[in-house]
Amino acid sequence: MSAAVAPIGIYEGLKTRVNPRQTGGASLSTTDSSIQGSIDATDVEKRLRSIEEKMEHLKPGGKDTWDKLEKLSSACWAVVTLLISVFVTGRIETALKERQLHLENVKDMQQLMQQLDKADAQSAMSYGLALGAHGRYAVEPMIQVLQSGIVDHREAAIAGLRAAAAIDEDFVCKQLTGVIQNRTRLYQMEVPESAAKLLGDLDCKDAARPLRDYVERLGRATPETAPFTQVPGSQGITQANIDDVKKQAQDSLTAVTQQ
Amino acid sequence: MSLFRYLPRLRFLGCAVLICFVKAGGQEPQLCTQINLVTGYKIVLDDIKFSSGSASEQDKQLMNLLNFQLRSRLESFDDEATVRYHLIRCNGRLPEGEASFPPLTMTGLVNRDVVLEIWGEIFGPAQGTQRVFLNYVMMPLSSGSVSPFLQRTYTPKAGSSPDEIVEWLANLNELSAYARIARAVRLLALKGPTGYDSAKADFETASSDLHRAFAPNPTASQKELLTFVSKRKCEVLQDARTNSEYKGPLRLLPDTILKRECTGGNL
């Protein structure tokens, strides 16, 4: 309340001081000068009021949103930095742990692989299953066992891949799909044949299209253009080989597409 | 005091256990990776256990001798290199009958052109003679109507010494007859009409050898095998006369001979 009264007091004082200057010291009659003086005073009063209003606006007011945000930003930045560092560290740690796990798996599997290499059909089966228990890490070694073409180890490799799929089915399906999609004749005939069979056995739904494409490709293939190489120790790829793989792929396609 | 008394016995037992472990660890692998390295029609010779037992040094020497003699004989059968047999010795391998040949294994062996696998055991000598048990598997017959597995027992009239038994085994016509049947079937599957001449010759020789081997009273499974051979040969002869892909001499086979071959006259 006093703040509202004070400017009027000042205004009164100013009025008496400002008046002569406003008139420019002109000679005005007492009556005129009193009227003139009152007009000038009102004008000046208005102007002063407006100045005061403007000054009032210029006075530093309360803190606005931006001020608050500015102060918060430093705190926010610290939190964001912390979160990012936690996230990145977590990712790095996970990657390192995964790599460590991979190495440990490889070490574990190395001995089993060496034993499998020398094993007869019966022992090979148990080594294959033990390897398959390593999940995704066993997939490539098992595919290589198939590729090596030792007759007594084929069942073991297939059993190993089935065991691996029990742990990491999506990964096994993806890798086996990669085998039938290969166009560089990387694998001998028994590898895609086994892969095609397993894709059906494991019910790899995503493999339906690759299987369909593979059946079509085999339908056009001849022994010279087959997408795989001959079985080791054989005299070459025969049309019967192509038909066998195609039949396997067709059976699996039927299995994965049926409702 | 009593512990010292038993010490030599304990030491002996310890040694025996150690020897058992060494022996078990030192067993040769039963894998036969050579199948993958040789191209052509293969005969797999597994272990034949002589009376002294498979692991003994004498048995190994006898198997080496048999391997050598059998290879010499089998590889001398054919002039043409493409149809020649290759004998693959699978050291330490002794299948346990049909159970050792699941479908995938059988298909794998057929794809590798393994036509015959043999293993067995020799008992005796008792009263001057030995009994020989041999197991045969004719791989390419696995997809046909006749069983690819055959078990045979022989009492060779040859002398009873191991060397004589080895020589008798190496010259066993029945063994080569099975190999011929299996090769003919595989050849037809691989080459079709272009293999007719060779297949016909194989069927004919095998049929003749088996008739002699199974005489005078062939068993039901033996009769079945003979009928199968005769039937396949007849199919070859009939198709050769009409198939445009075949250009060999069987095209001109007279009706009378064809009729004789296909009405069981050769049985």
Listed residues B149, B171, B193: the one ending a domain: B171
Closest-CA distance, A150 to chain B, in angstroms, reads 6
Q: Which of B202, B230, B209 is nearest to B80 (CA)?
A: B202
Cis peptide bond prior to A232, omega within 30° of 0: no
Chain B nearest CA to A207, separation (Å): 23
Which span out of A132-136, A213-217, B142-146, B260-264 was modeled with the highest average pLDDT?
A213-217
Task: Say if B36 is an interface residue toward chain A (CB within 8 Å).
Answer: yes
Residues 6+ positions from A109 with CB-CB distance below 8 Å = A131, A134, A137, A138, A141
- Shared-domain flag, residues B132 and B249: no
pLDDT of B165 reads 84
> Which of the residue ranges A11-20, A159-168, B155-164 would you say has the lowest mean pLDDT?
A11-20
B97-106 confidence digits (pLDDT tens): 899 999 999 9
* Last residue within a domain, chosen from B139, B171, B203: B171
Within 10 Å of residue A43's Cβ, how many Cβ atoms? 11
Whether A46 shows a pLDDT value over 70: the answer reads yes
CA distances to A67, A91, A92, B241 from A80, rounded to whole Å, are 20, 16, 18, 88
Which residues, 6 or more positions from B174, have their beta carbon under 8 angstroms from its beta carbon? B152, B209, B210, B213
Q: How far apart are CA B65 and CA B53, in angstroms?
A: 16
Contact at CB, B30 and A155, closer than 8 angstroms: no
Indicate the residue of A155, A234, A240 with minimum beta-carbon distance to B189.
A240
Report the distance separating Cα B164 and Cα B49, nearest Å. 15
A147 shares contact with chain B (CB less than 8 Å): no
Q: Is the pLDDT of residue A256 over 60?
A: yes
- Residue B42 contacts A, CB cutoff 8 Å: yes
List the beta strands (DSSP E) in chain B: 41-49, 85-89, 114-126, 129-138, 149-154
> Residue B41: what pLDDT?
94
Contact status, residue B17 vs residue B27, Cβ threshold 8 Å:
no
| Residues 6 or more apart whose Cβ sits within 8 Å of residue B116 | B43, B44, B136, B137, B138, B139, B175, B178, B179, B182
Q: For chain B, what is the domain count?
A: 2
**Residue B68 pLDDT > 60:** yes
- Determine the Cα–Cα distance for residues A91 and A85; give it in Å rounded to an integer: 10
Percentage, residues of chain A above pLDDT 70: 83
Same domain, B122 and B199: no
- Structure confidence at residue B228 (pLDDT): 94
Query: A155 pLDDT exceeds 60?
Result: yes
Within this chain, do residues B146 and B191 fall inside the same structural domain, yes or no? no
Tell the residue number behind the tokens 């993958």, with chain if given: B36
Handedness of CA B150, B155, B157, B158 (dihedral sign): positive
| Alpha-carbon gap: B48 to the closest alpha carbon of chain A (Å) | 18
Q: Which of B40-44, B123-127, B200-204, B251-255 has the lowest mean pLDDT?
A: B123-127
Give the contacts of A206 (CB within 8 A, at least 6 positions apart): A173, A174, A177
- Residue matched to tokens 């309360």: A62
Mean pLDDT of A59-82: 81
What pTM value is reported for the model? 0.74
Q: What is the pLDDT of residues A110-128, one digit of tens each?
A: 999 999 999 988 899 999 9
* B chain contacts of residue A154, beta-carbon cutoff 8 Å: 104-105, 108
Residue of chain A whose alpha carbon sits nearest to that of B33: A150
Assess whether pLDDT exceeds 70 at residue A211: yes
Q: Which pLDDT does position B8 carry in this prediction?
A: 54
> B184 near B202, Cβ under 8 Å?
yes
Q: What residues make up the domain containing B186?
A: 173-267
Residue A185 scores a pLDDT above 70:
yes
Q: Is A13 on the interface with B (CB under 8 A)?
A: no
In this structure, is residue B188 part of a structural domain? yes
Maximal C-alpha separation, chain B: 96
Residue A12's pLDDT is what?
A: 53
How many CB pairs lie under 8 A apart between chains A and B?
62
Q: Return all residues near B242 (Cβ < 8 A) that are at least 6 apart.
A: none
CB spacing of B108 vs A233 below 8 angstroms: no
- Tell me, yes or no, whether B122 lies in a domain: yes
Q: Tokens standing for A42?
A: 């009102």
In three-state secondary structure terms, B122 is: strand
At which of B171, B189, B222 does a domain end?
B171
Please report the pLDDT score of residue A103 as a whole number.
84
Greater confidence (A138 vs A2) lies with: A138
Which residues of chain B from 102 to 161 reach within 8 Å of chain A, CB to CB?
102, 104-105, 107-109, 111-113
Residues B38 and B154 grouped into a single domain: yes
Same domain, B118 and B186: no
pLDDT of residue B71: 87
CA–CA separation, B182 and B187 (whole Å): 9
pLDDT, tens only, B13-63: 444 443 444 344 344 445 688 899 999 999 999 988 876 555 577 778 888
Examine residue B90 and state whether it is found in any structural domain, yes or no: yes
* B80 and B111 inside one domain: yes
**pLDDT band at A75; cut points 50, 70, 90:** confident
Asked if B219 and B99 sit in the same domain, the reply is: no
User: Quick check: B106 and B76 in contact, CB under 8 A?
Assistant: no
Distance from C-alpha of A144 to C-alpha of A191, rounded to nearest angstrom: 9
pLDDT at B35: 93
CA-nearest of A105, A10, A78 to A49 is: A10
> Nearest CB to B109: which of A151, A155, A235?
A151
Please indicate whether residue A247 or residue B168 has the higher confidence score (pLDDT): A247
User: Is B39's CB within 8 Å of A234's CB?
Assistant: yes
Residues B161 and B38 in one domain: yes
Which structure tokens are listed for B251? Answer: 């095209």
Q: Which residues of chain B does A201 touch, with a Cβ-Cβ cutoff of 8 Å?
A: none
CA–CA distance, A237 with A223 (Å, rounded to integer): 5
In a shared domain, residues B182 and B160: no
The domain that holds B34 is classified in CATH as: 3.40.50
- Residue A195 Cα, gap to closest chain B Cα (Å): 14
Query: Is B40 close to A232, i.e. CB distance below 8 A?
Result: no
Q: Pairing relation of β-strands B114-126 and B149-154? A: unpaired
Q: What is the pLDDT of residues B212-231, one digit of tens each?
A: 999 888 999 999 999 999 99
Q: Where are the domains of chain A?
A: 92-167, 188-259
Give the E-state strand segments of B146-222 in sequence order.
Answer: 149-154
Chain B interface includes A193 (CB < 8 A): no
- Say if the Cβ atoms of B33 and A189 lie within 8 Å: no
The residues, ordered by sequence, that sit 6+ positions from B57 with a Cβ below 8 Å of its Cβ are: none
Q: Which two tokens stand for residue A255?
A: 């299995």
- Cis omega (within 30 of 0) for bond into A210: no
Best of A158, A229, A235 to disrupt the B interface (most B CBs within 10 Å) is A235
Residues 239-258 of A with CB under 8 A from B: 240-241, 244
Measure CB to CB from residue B190 to each of A152, A189, A235 and give the nearest one: A235
Same domain, B216 and B150: no
Between chains, do B111 and A155 touch, taking CB under 8 Å as contact? no
* Residues facing residue B122 across a β-bridge: B132
Whether B48 and B132 map to the same domain: the answer is yes
Interface predicted TM-score (ipTM) of this complex, two decimals:
0.78
B163 and B36 in one domain? yes
Share the mean pLDDT of chain B: 83
Predicted local distance difference test score (pLDDT) of residue B240? 94
Tell me: pLDDT of A54 over 70: yes
The answer to whether position B186 is within a domain reads yes
Which member of A152, A155, A234 has the closest CB to residue B111?
A234
Whether the CB-CB separation of B205 and B177 falls below 8 Å is answered with yes
Candidate from A118, A155, A240 with C-beta closest to B29 = A118
